[in-house]
Amino acid sequence: MILAGRLLLPDDADGVELAAGTVELDGDTIAAVNVGDTTTQADAGGPDALICPAFTDTHLHLPQFDQVGAHVTPLLRWLQDVTFPNERRWENTGFARGMAERVVGQLLSVGTSGVAAYATVHAEGTRAALEVFTQRGFRGVIGQTLIDREAPDYLCRPADQLLDETAALLDKFSPGQRMSAAVTPRFAITCTAPLLEGAGRLAAERHAAVQSHLAETVAECDFVGELFGGKRYVDVYRDAGLLRPGSLWGHGIHLDDADRVTLRGHDAVVAHCPTANSFLRSGSMPWREHHAADVAVSLGSDIGGGYERSMVRVARAMIETAAARGDAYPTAAQAWRQITAGNAELLPGPDGGVLLPGATADVLVIEPDVPWLDHPDPLAMLLWAWDDRWLERTVVRGEVGYAAG
Ligand code: GUN
Ligand code: ZN
């Protein structure tokens, strides 16, 4: 397959640049990237098309796709009243598998082929989701959410059982595979210290990815303080051995300089979820402070606390959130970099998010209906005028996973 248009390529800083050319796919791999070649007969694209690496979403909840818009704030109430009853549905593995299949279709239709996702506490539902995402060529991790307290009985399990189940998932979906299991303690409130410590040991033994939530709301931080004898929230995870290089910490809003030093010192990543933070009124992540402290920041939709599936619109919310704080904020080029190579590099597992010979053929063909190439800042126009109907096709591992029309 040959795709032609403006290629979205990483620049030497932290942005992207556009170059006219073609991308040649051979099976599941990019065989060649021909900058300057505008003459070749192409299978898709054209002079005004954008050829872009597929997007990566570094924080989302698969079972929550049907609860978007359910608005019972604040977070801890929303979990008890909306989210936990909803996640119970995954005790039926057939339901979980069907929902995972539907979610895959929804993600491909907005150009996402890489995920760091949460399933539920149900091991079999998590396994089904991993099978579905593997089969559809996705890249990334899915985790069984570990819960042994502060949730309804129907979602709590003994710590040993949860750790055995996640270990069994890691046997089959081991790190390094295109889709692997992640060690996923839901957050410190729903996990006893032995469960957190067991999760930290398991991640170390298996070199497994870790993901969880951190400092999303003030009430949550206060409750963690009560549950763990006044310890700092970040230190609870650090002391359990969970603050591992590349570990993904959802939200990371209510943190101070000392917390940033701890996160940076452990090469941990904050998964910024701006749409969820505004929807649940949790606060706004200090993008400038995290960047100034050299804390790695990825971007996630956090469906269904977040309401927006499209990573382009989540990137837009990232800019608006930072700007509303009166801070320095990311440029459009940085936003495009974030949802492609930036997020892909921070996703556990194989790399993606780049148009390079030898890379996996996860590529989008985008055909804007606006004269974006005449705009003084074409990438800004694409971002702010974005319309999902511009997505002509999503190619995953060389196969057309979604086609418009
Ligand atoms: N903290 C613990 N669980 C969740 C969740 O499902 N969504 C969000 N936004 N925060 C959480
Ligand atoms: Zn979340």
Residue-level pLDDT, tens digit, the chain, 405 residues: 999 999 999 899 999 999 999 999 999 999 999 999 877 789 999 999 999 999 999 999 999 999 999 977 899 999 999 999 999 999 999 999 999 999 999 999 999 999 999 999 999 999 999 999 999 999 999 999 999 999 999 999 999 999 999 999 999 999 999 999 999 999 999 999 999 999 999 999 999 999 999 999 999 999 999 999 999 999 999 999 999 999 999 999 999 999 999 999 999 999 999 999 999 999 999 999 999 999 999 999 999 999 999 999 999 999 999 999 987 899 999 999 999 999 999 998 777 899 999 999 999 999 999 999 999 999 999 999 999 999 999 999 999 999 998
pLDDT in tens, 157-196: 999 999 999 999 999 999 999 999 999 999 999 999 999 9
Q: What amino acid is encoded at 26 in this protein? A: D
Rounded to the nearest angstrom, the distance between the alpha carbon of 282 and the centre of ligand 2 is 12
Q: Identify the residue whose tokens are 């898709």.
A: 44
How far is Cα 317 from Cα 309, in angstroms, rounded to an integer?
Answer: 12
Residue 75 CB less than 6 A away from ligand 1: yes
Q: How far is CA 373 from the centre of its chain?
A: 29
Residue 83 CB less than 6 A away from ligand 1: yes
Cut 0.95: pTM above it: yes
How far is Cα 193 from Cα 92, in angstroms, rounded to an integer?
Answer: 29
How far is Cα 25 from Cα 363, in angstroms, rounded to an integer?
Answer: 9
Closest Cα to atom 3 of ligand 1: 186
Ligand 1 atom closest to Cα of residue 61:
6
pLDDT for 37: 85
Strands, E assignment, 205-318 = 209-214, 248-251, 269-272, 296-299
Q: Which helix (H) or strand (E) holds 53?
A: strand 44-53
Ligand 1 atom closest to Cα of residue 305:
9
Residue 216 CB less than 6 A away from ligand 1: yes
Ligand 1 atom closest to Cα of residue 118:
6
Closest Cα to atom 1 of ligand 1: 213
Q: At what angle do helices 93-108 and 123-135 cross, to 10 degrees?
A: 40
Residue 271 CB less than 6 A away from ligand 1: no
Residue 187 CB less than 6 A away from ligand 1: yes
How far is Cα 203 from Cα 198, in angstroms, rounded to an integer?
Answer: 9
pLDDT for 351: 76
Pocket test for ligand 1, best of 68, 79, 80 (most atoms within 8 A of CB): 79
